[in-house]
Amino acid sequence: MAEPKSLMWFRSDLRTADNTALAAAGRAGAVVAVYVVTPGQWREHDWAAVKVDFHVRTLARLSRDLAALNIPLLIRRVDRFDGVPTLLLALAREHGCTRLHTNREYEVNEARRDDAVASAFEKVGLAAYLHHDQTVLAPDELSTQAGNFYTVFTPFKRAWIRRLDEHGLGASGPSLRPAPVKQSPTGIEPDPVPERIAGFESTVDRALWPAGEGAAADRLGAFIGRGIDRYDDERDRAAADGTSTLSPYLACGSISARQCLTAAAIANGLMLENPKHLGSTRWISELVWREFYRHVMVGFPRVSMNRPFQPAAARIRWRDDPEGFKAWCDGRTGFPIVDAGMRQLLATGWMHNRLRMITAMFLTKDLLVDWRLGERHFMRHLVDGDLAQNNGGWQWSASTGTDAAPYFRVFNPVSQSRKVDPDGEFIRRWVPELASVDGKAIHEPSKLPPLMRARIEYPEPIVDHAKARLRVLAAFEAVRR
């Protein structure tokens, strides 16, 4: 009798280790793997070219890792999600797969696609198993005493830690899923992984983002080994290499949240919160923020549908300012820290988290431009583009979201610049026309003496921050009233 065979459908979980669906498929028998390229849907969802490039390079690594286990990775293509159920069902029948295993995705369109796939399989008598894998705790696992989804981070974090402690996971982190054992050859040849996807040509240096779960593990190990102790002190310093830069690997799933938490808990003295290890404690808190934004996206699907979390925020009268928006996109606002961050994004596909807040708050508060325009611009350029994280960050900055910054919190871009880049090192790297400006003057070059200012080819500020602050406060106050 032939060994039962499973179809393993990869998406944002491009790894062999600690992969819930892959581990389950391996336990059930032989495995055939598939990845479906959906370029039309990617364009509709604003996938960045650098993200697609990183994704396909990660797929190539995954294919080699799976081949070492005698698991063939097949590559199929349909333009949009609505073609996926028919494609996967035909593939399962072609290769005699009696069941499908995959890890759930939680965005609205992705969740509907997954449900449609499961329904198509079940209608013809084939099993479909949709596993939880993207976060340490499933997004719907925690609820308030009233049975609702959390809308404030701090009580969510307390409940999250409490639940891990209840499961006995607080000391060493969650249990990790083993990679499948090497199986007998299936006789099915893996498909070649395309080097590029037409329409998603990236100009970002590939060396910045080496792909695959081996590269992700190396990056985590390096951060734990020499960076995590300094994380609390350096995470907001723009010029410092003070963050893990693991977000692209988490977004494509070449490393799991469980793997990150386990490593951080060990570095934290086998604790989730430890006052003696502020760096690892703080980084674990950032992992919980990632969990929180997934939790919000499941509990309040409107945030996946281009709508503010706070219904009243839909009444905010955003300004139509195409010239200001373009200056912001191009890094030509006349505010050096804003421009440096935006230019870093364009050049590398990534931006320091503190700079994401500074640049997002400048667009929404100083320019009073709709946060959705900025959210889309980020998604179209981020190597770590992730709807839950990007939307959560933008709505926090715009004061339209859950657990958002109060509407009267308006970052001063000059004082923020002095705080996060006190020596101007980051600004000089990304705004080279200011490289010759000495000392603290680099944070506000418009205040330089006229003759000195005239020698610098750098724009004047496109907005008066003090006046802009009053304008945005009035706009929010009108909605609040």
Query: Confidence band (pLDDT; 50, 70, 90) for 1?
Result: very low
pLDDT digits (tens, 9 = 90+) for 126-140: 999 999 999 999 999
pLDDT digits (tens, 9 = 90+) for 190-208: 999 999 999 999 999 999 9
Q: Quote the tokens at residue 394.
A: 């933008």
pLDDT digits (tens, 9 = 90+) for 212-232: 999 999 999 999 998 899 999
What's domain 311-480's architecture?
Answer: Orthogonal Bundle (1.10)
pLDDT over 50 (residue 33): yes
Active-site positions?
286, 289, 318, 353, 371, 394
pLDDT for the residue numbered 170: 53
pLDDT digits (tens, 9 = 90+) for 373-386: 999 999 999 999 99
Beta bridge partners of 130: 102
Residue from 332, 333, 338, 346 nearest 420 by CA: 338
pLDDT digits (tens, 9 = 90+) for 91-121: 999 999 999 999 999 999 999 999 999 999 9
Residue in the block written with tokens 């039309």: 40
Best CATH choice for the domain 134-175+213-299 from the list 3.40.640.10, 3.40.190.10, 3.40.1790.10, 1.25.40.80:
1.25.40.80
CA–CA gap between residue 15 and residue 194 (Å, rounded): 18
CA–CA gap between residue 240 and residue 227 (Å, rounded): 11
Print burial letters for 404-420: b (CB count within 10 Å at least 16), e (below 16): bbebeebbbbbebbbbb
Query: Confidence band (pLDDT; 50, 70, 90) for 4?
Result: confident
Average pLDDT over residues 448-472: 95
Domain ranges across the chain: 5-131, 134-175+213-299, 311-480
Query: Confidence band (pLDDT; 50, 70, 90) for 169?
Result: low
Query: Confidence band (pLDDT; 50, 70, 90) for 16?
Result: very high
pTM reported for the whole predicted model: 0.96
The pair phi, psi for residue 275, each rounded to 5°, is: -65, -15
5-131, which class in CATH? alpha beta
pLDDT for the residue numbered 477: 94
Domains 134-175+213-299 and 311-480 share a fold: no
